Structure 1
């Protein structure tokens, strides 16, 4: 598990991939951090940060030297060198960097590289499904920014949602929304009616599944579950689970943690309404807001 906000703000997906690959190669060769650090004449903490994906200034020649020491093939070495280049490449949301909460930059890296996303949300409509008006009200409640900064945050959310609607390989996404989300008024009744109709319409897309966990389901997993996002990647990159709270962000990536979240998600899915009844409920509540 990765826990502190400062750690997360320095981590990107290419750095994580590079770090994990170097850690696996070191362990496969039977070396400890101390042994490798001594041979390569670097500090143990520097090597540890590299393996955790927290080293912001990674040099291609250093990675090449490490790969040679581990006896990696030329093809494998070239692949890891490309990850170094990707880690320093400007991402599309770079212009919004001053508006992004600590740790959320890491999630954006995960989101843009994902092949599948699995959400559970019990508090608010997920950002990828938010209308501009709903998002503007959320940002107004949670931030002390100027009107221009709020508008830019809204623009970021709208731009992110393109991964669900683009023509070429849109991301597959499953959203399990607790009924509380639908009943919590953000902005005005008119805003909520438009938002819920938008969610229902998005649920008709082939790559998107939206299901409501009703009040009558109680606690399907046996306890109250915080909102989370499970992220799956291509190229055998291990999945992660992202959790964001008011005072911190966590990423779970250990196998046992992932299995536990998969089990929780399965229980929530079993308790949720099917897709069509979920859309019917969304539109029914939208009509109530319009009355």
Structure 2
């Protein structure tokens, strides 16, 4: 488990994934850092920083050189080279670092690299599903200029939500949204009506599943289950779980911890309404707001 009140150092997700993959490949071959450093004429400290994801200046040709030495197949080498390219690319949200709440920058990296997302939200409509008016009406934090953060929130929501609607490989995402998040009026009933209809419409997409966890379900996942996101990655990269609160975030990376969240998620999923019933409920809620 990794607890953060800020992002995890200056380590970006692609560097961490690349470093873990190189370390696993080295250990699978039975090599020590000293052995590899001596043969490839790389300093042990540089190789160690690379495996920890702490090397900010990564050369793609060096990654290929190391991978060839480990005897990795071509497909795996190309994937690790792509991670090296990503590690050198500045993410689009980097210019807005000061507007991102503590820890969320790390989540944005995780989200960008993911192949599938599984949400459980009890407090607020998940950001990827928020309408611009809803996002604009979410109360800004006390430490930031309201208008500045509001503009950023809306822009961020629009850019992020494109991963669900893009034509090429749209993100697969499952959303379990508790009824309490739906019943909390943000902005106005007009805004909520539009938000309900947007949720119902998004739920018809093949890559998106939206289901409501009703009040009548009780606490299927346990009394103290916070909102969370289970994040799956390509190429058998280990999944992680992201949770957040008002002043910080937690990222669970250990396999046992992630599996515990999957058990919780299965319980919550079993108590949620089916997709069609969820869409019917959302559209009924929208109509009531319009009366």
Residue of structure 2 equivalent to 1:100: 100
- Report deviation, 1:34: 8.3
- Are 2:138 and 1:157 aligned? no
**Using the alignment, how far apart are the partners of 2:143 and 2:190 within structure 1?**
22
**Using the alignment, how far apart are the partners of 1:141 and 1:102 within structure 2?**
12
Residue of structure 2 equivalent to 1:190: 190
Cα deviation 1:195-236 (Å, max 9, x = unaligned): 112111111112111111111111102322101111112222
* Higher mean displacement: 16-25 or 262-271: 16-25
Give the TM-score taking structure 2 as reference length.
0.86
Residue of structure 1 equivalent to 2:207: 207
**Using the alignment, how far apart are the partners of 2:170 and 2:203 within structure 1?**
14
Q: Structure 1 pair 230/73, CA: closer, same or farther in 2 (3 Å)?
A: closer
SS in 2 for 1:170: coil
Unaligned 5+ segments in structure 2 are: none
Residue of structure 2 equivalent to 1:282: 282
Q: Structure 1 pair 234/64, CA: closer, same or farther in 2 (3 Å)?
A: closer
- Report deviation, 1:160: 0.7
**Using the alignment, how far apart are the partners of 2:34 and 2:10 within structure 1?**
23
**Using the alignment, how far apart are the partners of 1:142 and 1:161 within structure 2?**
26
SS in 2 for 1:204: coil
Give the TM-score taking structure 1 as reference length.
0.86
Q: Structure 1 pair 141/289, CA: closer, same or farther in 2 (3 Å)?
A: farther
**Using the alignment, how far apart are the partners of 2:58 and 2:18 within structure 1?**
10
Unaligned 5+ segments in structure 1 are: none
Q: Structure 1 pair 32/56, CA: closer, same or farther in 2 (3 Å)?
A: same
